[in-house]
Structure 1
Amino acid sequence: MKVLIVEDSIFVQKLLTKLIVDHIPECEIQIANNGEQGYNLFKEFQPDFITTDLLMPGLNGQEMLRMIREKDSNVKIIILSADIQKTTRDEVEMLGISGFLNKPLTAEKATTMIQLIQAAYHAE
């Protein structure tokens, strides 16, 4: 399984990488620091799963998600963001996300994220 982490916080990048590798050791992970890098890596890496922040400099997560959906309607995407506006959440949910978790990442939210990734992994 291939996972793309799109996140501008190095701390969150490391936290998510450790979390995923600890639970799904055979997982291949790529990291992007912003939406533009994320979209380019998405095209190159062709991940099965993407976790992304929404609030990033340059191309934000929402714009990146729209661009990804134009190319691939099946890739699983989890949003992990501090943006808690209902309109934002409604918009990204209409683009077909697998989950939306609010930051900060707690133990309970981390468990939910791993369960979503594992469910997608075992569905293949």
Structure 2
Amino acid sequence: MKVLIVEDSIFVQKMMSKLIGDYIPNCDIRTATNGEDGFQLYQEFKPDIITTDLLMPGLNGQDMLRMIREQDQDVKIIILSADIQKATREEVEELGISGFLNKPLTAEKASTLLQMIQVAHHA
């Protein structure tokens, strides 16, 4: 399985990479720090699952998600964001996401994230 983590915090990138890598052996994980890099890596890497923040410098998560959906309706996308506005959540849900978790990533939310990835991978 190939996972792309799009997150502007290097700390969160490393934490999520370790979490996913420990949970899913032989998982190929790539990271990007903003939407531009995330979109470019998506095109090159063709991940099975993308986790992304919404609030990032430059191209934000919603705009990256829109660009990906113009090319690919099937890739599984999980949002992990501190932006908890109802309108934002509804907007990304309309774009077809597999899940939405609010930051910060607690132990309980990490467990939920891993379950979401497992479900999305087998969907």
TM-score > 0.5, shorter chain as reference: yes
Partner of 1:79: 79
Structure 1 outlier segments of 4+, above 4 Å? none
Distance in 2 between residues matched to 1:27 and 1:78, nearest whole Å: 16
Could you say which residue in structure 1 is the equivalent of 2:23? Answer: 23
Three-state SS of the structure 2 residue aligned to 1:100 is: strand
State, as a whole percentage, how many aligned pairs show the same letter. 76
Partner of 2:93: 93
The equivalent of 2:3 in structure 1 is 3
Partner of 2:66: 66
Structure 1 unmatched runs, 5+: none
SS in 2 for 1:4: strand
Aligned to 2:111: 111
- Farther-moved stretch of structure 1 (109-118 vs 32-41): 109-118
Which runs of no fewer than 5 residues in structure 2 stay unpaired?
none
CA displacement at 1:111 relative to structure 2: 0.6
Q: What TM-score do the two structures reach when normalised by structure 1?
A: 0.97
Cα deviation digits, residues 62-117 of structure 1 (max 9, x gap): 00000000010000000000001100000000000000000000111111110111
Tell me the number of residue pairs that the alignment of Structure 1 and Structure 2 aligns: 123
TM-score by length of 2: 0.98
